[in-house]
């Protein structure tokens, strides 16, 4: 069955075909490691994880590259303001290198807890400076760059079709540019390829270059790293929708200007996680929640957030609420309980072809996860034999990534105990501590143990 994916470039769904089958080159713009990722960021990485798993489910191989932005991302996307890493270092009284290392590890821990598969290649901006310099040199030789007092800039007026991805109106951009005005820029959309270290200041992260000591602009790293590690397999490049107008637009301009060839075939973007009132969750808005904060506030386990993300199509905004998180926890628990009950009487045998077809139809229709979850529910409710249901749901789990096999290896709680456990979860959420204690006593009196752990409440037969 054909895999249809929405391409931001053409603004429509297209049939996906790898350039060099069966391998697909996939590049995901990684985190800027000056602070913890928030659950909005993580929604985008769950989206790209589903994309990758769907490619694998379709029998393709995936070479997945993810960068770590550990230098050069300024506080303003249009090359003004401070380097986020150096700023983070000052805030925490650590070196920029320590900040990068700390938040990189925190990010890796978060994605592991969400069952987001590791990329084939992790790469850091600071480890590919030579490649970035080589790319800037190529642009310079072709006449796309100019020098200002603070760095080397890309002249966007020289690149035909600069707004091909964003479909933005350039006159509108001229207006918007008033906010961060750099009088030496020839066009408001021009962007820094290399920035000099400020005079008299020694930055913690700086390198010698043909243009002077300094550091690369943010966009150049993704062009250099995707070409270095994927070669010609420039199949799919993805990130959040905020990357369309500036970051990805600039990546395309500088890459195609340097090589004279098409950069990526598919551009895919995940919509925002928003909070009540429609505001984007963002570090700069001060309204963000880390995964740990959500686990703590909603008393859920990390995988419940992954499950919650499946309820909204990736191109639609997803609204964050504690109620939605708790509902996802219950939903996940319910699926596990159904699988456990099946395992009490059967072992997985053969995948049901008709259900597999329905599931494939959903995921191959631009990763329609809400639809795919409906197929999972229908399957579990169906009157298929338990051994077939099990084989089929475990097969779907290659995409869902909920680890149903090992979760199901645990115990099945009797319905009465499960109901008490659910009620206690709600009581704790509503801070009804007396009721929560009473429910715990009740569960214990029926011979089950209750433990409150950082991963949430555990109820089991001791
Ligand atoms: P950053 O670490 O800021 O470079 O962001 C990492 C990824 O998260 C990028 O792909 C962003 O587009 C994405 N992102 C940022 N804010 C949100 C949000 N509220 N919802 C979904 N994705 C987001
Ligand atoms: Zn990028």
Domain with residue 204: its CATH number is: 3.40.50.620
The string of DSSP letters for 301-314 reads -HHHHHHHHTTS-T
Which pair of structure tokens corresponds to residue 59? 């029998």
Cα–Cα dist 224/125, whole Å: 9
Domain boundary among 270, 298, 320: 270
Task: Answer yes or no: do 309 and 225 share one domain.
Answer: no
- The whole-number pLDDT of residue 183 equals 86
Residue nearest to atom 7 of ligand 1 (CA): 41
Q: Which ligand is nearest to the CA of 77?
A: 1
Residue to mutate (ligand 1; options 111, 240, 278; most atoms within 8 A of CB): 240
Task: Answer yes or no: do 344 and 388 share one domain.
Answer: yes
Task: Answer yes or no: do 70 and 137 share one domain.
Answer: yes
- The whole-number pLDDT of residue 154 equals 97
The verdict on residue 275 lying in a domain is no
Which residues is 14 bridged to in the sheet?
5
Q: Which ligand is nearest to the CA of 32?
A: 1
**Contacting residues for 234 by C-beta, under 8 A, at least 6 apart:** 19, 25, 27, 226, 227, 262, 263, 264, 265
Distance of CA 29 from the midpoint of ligand 2 (Å): 4
The verdict on residue 276 lying in a domain is no
- The whole-number pLDDT of residue 462 equals 58
Distance of CA 240 from the midpoint of ligand 2 (Å): 10
The verdict on residue 277 lying in a domain is no
Classify the C-alpha dihedral 73-75-80-82 as positive or negative. negative
Distance of CA 37 from the midpoint of ligand 1 (Å): 8
| Ligand 1: lining residues by beta carbon, under 6 Å | 29, 31-32, 40-41, 43-44, 239-240, 242-243, 270, 272-273, 280-282
Residue nearest to atom 14 of ligand 1 (CA): 41
Task: Answer yes or no: do 206 and 98 share one domain.
Answer: yes
Distance of CA 46 from the midpoint of ligand 1 (Å): 11
Q: Which atom of ligand 1 is nearest to the CA of 41?
A: 8
Q: Which atom of ligand 1 is nearest to the CA of 280?
A: 19
Which pair of structure tokens corresponds to residue 239? 């990130």
Cβ 306 vs Cβ 402: under 8 Å: yes
Average pLDDT by stretches of 10, the chain with 462 residues: 96 98 98 96 98 98 97 79 87 92 97 97 97 98 96 96 90 60 88 92 92 95 98 97 96 97 98 91 86 94 97 97 95 93 92 98 98 98 97 98 82 75 87 91 85 71 62
Cα–Cα dist 238/248, whole Å: 9
Cβ 80 vs Cβ 153: under 8 Å: no
Number of domains in the chain: 3
- The whole-number pLDDT of residue 415 equals 72
The verdict on residue 108 lying in a domain is yes
Task: Answer yes or no: do 454 and 360 share one domain.
Answer: no
Task: Answer yes or no: do 129 and 57 share one domain.
Answer: yes
Range of the domain at 116: 4-270
Q: Which atom of ligand 1 is nearest to the CA of 31?
A: 2
Domain boundary among 373, 394, 409: 409
Task: Answer yes or no: do 364 and 335 share one domain.
Answer: yes
Which pair of structure tokens corresponds to residue 373? 């979850």
Task: Answer yes or no: do 367 and 442 share one domain.
Answer: no
What are the CB-based long-range contacts (under 8 Å, 24+) for 343-348? 343/390, 343/408, 343/409, 343/412, 344/412, 345/386, 346/385, 346/386, 346/387, 346/390, 347/387, 347/390, 348/387, 348/390, 348/391, 348/394
Domain boundary among 270, 304, 337: 270
Number of H helices, E strands in the chain: 16, 16
Residue nearest to atom 12 of ligand 1 (CA): 240
Task: Answer yes or no: do 387 and 443 share one domain.
Answer: no
Q: Which atom of ligand 1 is nearest to the CA of 30?
A: 6
Q: Which ligand is nearest to the CA of 273?
A: 1
- The whole-number pLDDT of residue 270 equals 98
Task: Answer yes or no: do 254 and 320 share one domain.
Answer: no
Task: Answer yes or no: do 404 and 419 share one domain.
Answer: no
Q: Which atom of ligand 1 is nearest to the CA of 271?
A: 21
**Contacting residues for 345 by C-beta, under 8 A, at least 6 apart:** 386
Q: Which atom of ligand 1 is nearest to the CA of 318?
A: 20
Which pair of structure tokens corresponds to residue 360? 């494939």
Helix (H) or strand (E) holding 61: strand 61-68
The verdict on residue 292 lying in a domain is yes
CATH of the domain at 289: 1.20.120
Task: Answer yes or no: do 96 and 167 share one domain.
Answer: yes
The verdict on residue 278 lying in a domain is no
Which pair of structure tokens corresponds to residue 338? 């159904």
């Amino acid at each position: 069955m054909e895999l249809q994916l929405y391409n931001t470039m053409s603004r429509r769904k297209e049939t996906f075909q790898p350039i060099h089958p069966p391998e697909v080159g996939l590049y995901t713009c990684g985190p800027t490691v000056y602070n913890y990722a928030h659950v909005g960021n993580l929604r985008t990485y769950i989206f790209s994880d589903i994309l990758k798993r769907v490619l694998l489910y379709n029998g393709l191989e995936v070479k997945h590259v993810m960068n770590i932005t550990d230098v050069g991302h300024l506080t303003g996307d249009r090359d003004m303001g401070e380097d986020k890493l150096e700023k983070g270092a000052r805030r925490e009284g650590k070196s920029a290198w320590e900040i990068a290392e700390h938040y990189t590890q925190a990010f890796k821990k978060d994605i592991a807890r969400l069952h987001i598969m590791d990329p084939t290649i992790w790469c850091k901006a600071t480890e590919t400076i030579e490649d970035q310099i080589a790319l800037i040199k190529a642009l310079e030789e072709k006449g796309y760059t100019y020098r200002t007092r603070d760095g080397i800039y890309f002249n966007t007026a020289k690149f035909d079709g600069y707004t091909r991805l964003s479909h933005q109106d350039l006159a509108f951009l001229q207006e918007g540019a008033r906010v961060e005005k750099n009088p030496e820029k020839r066009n408001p959309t021009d962007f820094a390829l290399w920035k000099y270290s400020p005079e008299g200041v020694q930055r913690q992260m700086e390198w010698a270059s043909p243009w002077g000591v300094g550091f690369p602009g943010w966009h150049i790293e993704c062009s250099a790293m995707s070409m270095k590690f994927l070669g010609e397999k420039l199949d799919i490049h993805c990130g959040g929708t905020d990357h369309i107008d500036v970051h990805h637009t600039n990546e395309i301009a500088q890459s195609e200007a340097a090589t004279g060839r098409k950069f990526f075939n598919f551009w895919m973007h995940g919509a925002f996680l928003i909070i009540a009132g429609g505001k984007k969750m963002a570090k700069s808005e001060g309204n963000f929640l880390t995964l740990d904060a959500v686990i703590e506030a909603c008393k859920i386990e990390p995988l419940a957030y992954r499950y919650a993300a499946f309820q909204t199509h990736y191109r639609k905004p997803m609204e964050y609420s504690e109620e939605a998180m708790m509902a996802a926890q219950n939903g996940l628990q319910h699926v596990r309980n159904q699988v456990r009950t099946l395992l009490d009487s059967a072992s997985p045998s053969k995948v049901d072809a008709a259900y597999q077809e329905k599931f494939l139809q959903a995921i191959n229709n631009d990763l329609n996860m809400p639809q795919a979850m409906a197929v999972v529910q229908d399957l579990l409710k169906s009157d298929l034999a338990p051994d077939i249901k099990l084989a089929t749901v475990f097969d779907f789990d290659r995409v869902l990534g909920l680890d149903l096999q090992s979760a199901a290896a645990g115990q099945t709680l009797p319905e009465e105990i499960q109901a008490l456990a659910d009620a206690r979860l709600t009581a704790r959420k509503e801070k009804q501590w007396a009721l929560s204690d009473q429910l715990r006593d009740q569960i214990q009196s029926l011979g089950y143990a209750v433990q409150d752990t950082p991963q949430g409440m555990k109820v089991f037969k001791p």
